[in-house]
Structure formats: structure tokens, C-alpha cells
Amino acid sequence: MDHDVEAEARERVARRDEAVRAAVEQGLLGPDAAVVGLLDVRGIRESAAALRTAFEAVLAPGTPVLHAFAVKATPLVPVLRLLHEEGVGAEVASPGELALARAAGVPAARTVLDSPAKTPAELREALALGIAVNADNPQELDRLDALVPARGAGGATAAPLRSPLGIRVNPQIGAGSIGATSTATETSKFGVALRDEGAREWVVRAYTERPWLTRLHAHTGSQGIPLPLLARGVAETFALAEEINARVGRRQVDTLDIGGGLPVNFAGEATAPTYARYARLLAEQVPGLRAGRYGLVTEFGRSLLAKHGTVVARVEYAKRSGGRRIAVTHAGVQVATRTVYAPGAWPLRIAAYDGEGRPKPGPEVVQDVAGPACFSGDLLAEGRALPALEQGDYAAALDTGAYYFAHHYAYNSLARPGIHGFGPDGAGGVAFATVREPQTVAEVVAESGGAHASALTALCTPGSR
Ligand SMILES: *Cc1c(COP(=O)(O)O)cnc(C)c1O
């Protein structure tokens, strides 16, 4: 691990410890706010900067690059605004995500639409706004055909096409260690499966027949995909772009969208692998990328945010059951759904803090950290060696800035926790800013049909009058 990465990780831990302490002191966390999400603004800025510089370092100067944050990783408007300020756009995959990006002020020209199930209305809106679209399959390409204004004769009345358009391909390079996040398998639901019979030829012809197809997209996987496999996916995409351009006899494909998927180190503090390492590997494995012949779009999600988010939950009770030691906290399946349902694939590190939010000293004892939901499997961690968590302490689930607290799961009607960003207050302390208000019980009732309480009893029942 290089020195910078180590120092960066140490500073991140120090900032997190100070933030937990300050959150307790300032009452953001306590008996009446038993679980919160915290976001490290400085850390997010550092990751965005690391992403920019990593690719600048390996690409020819002046190569157009759009880093589009995969909004699904952390769908929070203030986060998207912060990233936008850091030069990072948005990759969206639903009307909701598009609306979030727009609410954050991300311009259409820095937005990419990628969902596997786009409706005609969504496609029409994207083209009207000038948002880039990657068609997932031949049927979607048919829909684009109908929307793209005809060039030349008869097209004069239609608005000009502003959206860069491309096709998403699946190079079918195989799975990583987590099936659910492996997108480039033989039978993946995403994109045009390139190795299927006739598929490659179909893709090449689709480009020769449509001069407006100028991008090529592949996102070959997320957490659990080894770097060399990610690089192979990019190499395959590059080779296909070269083949298309050779066939049409000009540089029609001018931009490669290489997707996201850089894995995150959930086993330790260090950022590993780094963007710098991935960019260098890409430059080695796909030397043609360096030449600047293609603009580049990236779609990183988890790797930009995961390390900068922490779920902190109060230990309501500490108990023993049949010799098992259990800390019952307020963070469980509602904020860490993947971990609770698939603990083998998504283990989380837990840090122990005392009732004042200070890191708890040892000795460590083996214990389970449970959530508040009413099923036995609602565990953040099982059999974990940690300083003994006692009533009134806090348990922090680390590396949860992506795909965790912004992905609330309403089990047991547990309310969405508040999310607070933190940074220095300028006087040696910590300042917080509300990113998302905690959900109130009244809001839980409202979204659970509260306005329709008599909807079912008012319906006629057979045999009654
Ligand atoms: C989810 C997704 C990403 C981001 O993946 P991460 O693993 O979060 O980096 C990028 N592109 C597409 C098309 C996706 O579906």
C-alpha cells in the first residue's frame, strides 16, 4: 500500500471519530436519534479529485472525459450537487434518478441514461433534454429510430439531435465473486450479448446504418469483479469500436463509455484498489485508449462514496442468550439490507464507540451486532471480535456511503434515518449539514396508505350489502 493511501486512510479515521463524537455532543445522535448516516464531505471531494487525476494522468491531454456518478449508489441530491461541483456528472437509470440529477443542477450534457427498461416516454424526455442514451437492445434501438429526427429531406421541422447515442454491449467476459453484481456473464440481462450468434455483426451493421450512433457502452460489473476482468471488458469494447469505425470508414464512434464497477475494500480502511491503479492498468491493457482518439465516459458509483459514509446506531440493549453475546442496535436490515440478507457477500466492518461517541478501547470480545427488526437474521455482524458493546454505546457500520443508508428498506415500518454531512467548522470542531431529514412517524403513516384508511372496508364484500 503506498504511503499516500495509508495517510489518507488515517486521516479519514480521525475525521470519522471526531464526527461521531461531535454528533453525540450536538445531539444529532442520542436516545431520541438512535441511528444516523454521516457523510464525510472532505473524503468525497478527495475521491472525486483522485478519479479526475487518475484518468488525466494516463490519457492524452485534451481527451474529453465525463465522469458520470452512478446515482443509484447514493441517490441524494446534495451528494449529486457536491459531485457536480467536483466536476462529476450523473449516470441515471430511472425517472427518479434523472429528477434527482436535475434537482442537483447536473446539466443534461453531463448526464447519461442507462436503464435496462426505458419506456418510450423516458426516451423521448431524454432526447428532448439532450441527455446521452445507451440503447440496451434491438427493441430499444427501434424506439430510438422513431425518435431521432431524420437527416436531410423532411427532417427540417424536427429539433436537432443533441443527445449522444450509443448501444450497450455485454462482452460476456464472465462473473466476479458476487453473482448479483456481475453484469457481463454469458446470460446477463444487460446490453447486447456480443458473443451470441450473429450479435456482433448485428451491432456493427446497426452503426453502419445509423450515423448518429457515436458511443459504445459496456459496464462489465460491480463489487466482486477483479480488475483484470474489468480491464478485459474495456479492451473488448475498444476493439469493437475500432471494428465499427474501420467498417464505416470514419471515426463514427467517438466516445467509449466504460461503465463503473471499481471494487471497494470492505475488509480494511485503505482505499484499494485506487482509481490511479485502475487507470494505469487500463492504459497498459488497452494502449489505444491513451491516444486520445476516443472520448471517455466513466460511471463509478460505489468507489466514489462507500468509504465516506458511516451508519451510527445506539446500542439500546446488551444481552446474552444461550451464551451468545448480542448488542441490540437501531441499525439493521432497514439501512444495511444487502449485508443482512447476504452477509457472506457484503460483510461490513463495525467500530465501537462509547456513550459519548469516543472510540471504545479493548479488550475485544466476540459478539453479535443486531438490528431492530423482528426477525432473527437481522444482524449487522455475527461473531465479531469488538470492544464489548454496552447499553448506551454506539456501533458504527463503516464504508456505508454507497448502497446502504440511502437505500432504505421499510421493514417493520422503521423510519429512514437522518443523514448529515460533516466538515471542519473553522474553529477546530465539526460542523454538520442536513443532507436528508429523518423520516417522521406521520410520514411513515402517509406513505403507508394513511390517506386511504377506509379504502378496503368501503368496498362491497360478496354476500354483504
Ligand atoms: C450500477 C452501475 C454502475 C455503477 O457501479 P458501481 O459498482 O457502483 O461503480 C455504473 N454503470 C451502470 C450501467 C450501472 O448499472
**What sign has the CA pseudo-torsion 320, 344, 436, 451?**
negative
What's the predicted TM-score (pTM) here?
Answer: 0.96
Q: Say whether the peptide bond before residue 226 is cis (omega within 30 degrees of 0).
A: no
Task: Quote the pLDDT of residue 157.
Answer: 53
Task: Quote the pLDDT of residue 268.
Answer: 97
300 CB within 6 A, ligand 1: yes
73 CB within 6 A, ligand 1: yes
pLDDT tops 70 at residue 464 = no
pLDDT tops 60 at residue 1 = no
The domain limits of the chain are 41-149+160-304, 307-450
Cβ–Cβ < 8 Å for 357, 24: yes
* Residue 323, helix vs strand vs coil: coil
Cβ–Cβ < 8 Å for 218, 191: yes
Write down the CATH number for the domain with range 307-450.
2.40.37.10
The count of other CB atoms within 10 Å of the CB of residue 374 is 10
- Banded model confidence at residue 158, pLDDT cuts 50, 70, 90: low
The rounded Å distance from CA 15 to ligand 1 centre is: 28
Q: Cell digits for 116? A: 435496462
Query: pLDDT by residue (tens digit) across 220-252?
Result: 888 989 999 999 999 999 999 999 999 999 999
Query: pLDDT by residue (tens digit) across 316-346?
Result: 999 999 999 999 999 999 999 999 999 999 9
The rounded Å distance from CA 91 to ligand 1 centre is: 8
Burial environment of residue 28 by CB neighbours within 10 A (0 to 12, 13 to 18, 19 or more) = buried
Cβ–Cβ < 8 Å for 110, 66: yes
Per residue, the 3-state secondary structure of 185-236, as one string, reads CCCCCCCEECCCCCHHHHHHHHHHHCCCEEEEECCCCCCCCCHHHHHHHHHH
From 303, 244, 245, select the one nearest 50 (Cα to Cα).
Answer: 303
Among 51, 72, 169, the mutation site with the greatest number of ligand 1 atoms within 8 A of its Cβ is 72
pLDDT tops 60 at residue 438 = yes
The rounded Å distance from CA 250 to ligand 1 centre is: 30
- Domain spanning 41-149+160-304: which superfamily? Alanine racemase (3.20.20.10)
Residues 93-111, mean pLDDT to the nearest whole number: 98
CA–CA distance, 369 with 326 (Å, rounded to integer): 6
The rounded Å distance from CA 5 to ligand 1 centre is: 24
